[in-house]
């Protein structure tokens, strides 16, 4: 199923946000295990995506998975977060050639990776992650469809704080 557009995806409610946070709080701090599992799952599910990434995954090994964990951290400030996700989505389309059809693979690979290493994984964590990831995807894709998201905050009233999700 193709990702749904932003107007059809609600902001995850507080219980979903909490469930996702609990699943992450149990991950071993500073571990590269999540990123390793994530990439293993992704390239197993969709081997053709491997060529989109640098040959040596290490320099940015953790970036994508860490970025997602940071997103989870900022879900309480959805306006700022939505703006950052739009910028990230535009960058993904422009610099990495990411298309809407790629997002479900990344979501499945990530959620599976968290489930593999979270000691108390539950079905409600799983459905909460699906909701959160859908919202992230919808915002990134909304940004990818906008003409140019390069200048952070331009034409949007107040400037947003520069926040890195790496
Ligand atoms: C939840 C969604 C995602 C988040 C939070 C995310 C986050 C990130 C971040 C933070 C970076 C590093 C950017 C930089 O260095 O400036 C990155 C790079 C990248 N992402 Fe994503 N990403 C997401 C989804 C995707 C999807 C769906 C794809 C499609 C396969 C993808 C493919 C890539 C690629 C190819 C790179 C560059 C890697 C390299 O140079 O080796 N990402 N992503």
**Whole-prediction pTM value?**
0.86
Q: Quick one: pLDDT at residue 32?
A: 74
Which ligand 1 atom minimizes the distance to the CA of 106? 27
**Out of 78-82, 91-95, 128-132, 156-160, least confident range:** 156-160
pLDDT tens digit sequence for 111-136: 999 899 888 899 999 999 999 999 99
Structural domains of the chain in order of their starting residue, each with its CATH number: 31-145 (1.10.490.10)
Angle at 125 between CA 101 and CA 104, to 5 degrees: 5
62 SS3 class: coil
pLDDT tens digit sequence for 9-40: 888 999 999 999 998 887 766 667 888 888 99
- The C-alpha atoms of residue 75 and residue 33 are separated, in whole angstroms, by 23
Q: Determine which residue's CA is closest to atom 4 belonging to ligand 1.
A: 64
Residue 112 Cα distances to 13, 38, 126, angstroms: 22, 8, 9
Q: Kindly state the average pLDDT of the residues 50-64.
A: 82
Reported confidence tier of residue 61, pLDDT bands at 50, 70, 90 = low
Which ligand 1 atom minimizes the distance to the CA of 53? 41
Q: Kindly state the average pLDDT of the residues 48-53.
A: 94
Q: What is the mean pLDDT of the chain?
A: 84
Q: Which residues line ligand 1 (CB under 6 A)?
A: 49, 52-54, 60, 63-64, 67-68, 71, 88, 92, 96, 98, 102-103, 106, 136, 140, 165-166
């Amino acid at each position: 199923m193709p990702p749904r557009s932003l107007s059809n995806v609600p902001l995850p409610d507080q219980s979903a946000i909490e469930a996702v946070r609990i699943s992450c709080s149990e991950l071993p701090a500073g571990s590269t295990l999540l990123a390793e599992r994530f990439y293993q799952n992704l390239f197993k599910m969709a081997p053709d995506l491997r060529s989109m990434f640098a040959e040596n995954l290490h320099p940015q090994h953790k970036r994508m998975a860490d970025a997602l964990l940071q997103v989870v951290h900022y879900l309480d400030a959805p306006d700022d977060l939505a703006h950052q996700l739009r910028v990230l989505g535009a960058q993904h389309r422009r610099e990495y050639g990411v298309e809407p059809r790629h997002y479900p693979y990344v979501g499945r690979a990530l959620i599976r990776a968290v489930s593999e290493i979270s000691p108390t994984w539950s079905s409600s964590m799983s459905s909460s992650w699906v909701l959160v990831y859908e919202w992230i995807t919808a915002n990134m894709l909304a940004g990818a469809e906008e003409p140019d998201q390069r200048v952070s905050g331009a034409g949007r009233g107040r400037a947003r704080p520069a926040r890195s999700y790496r």
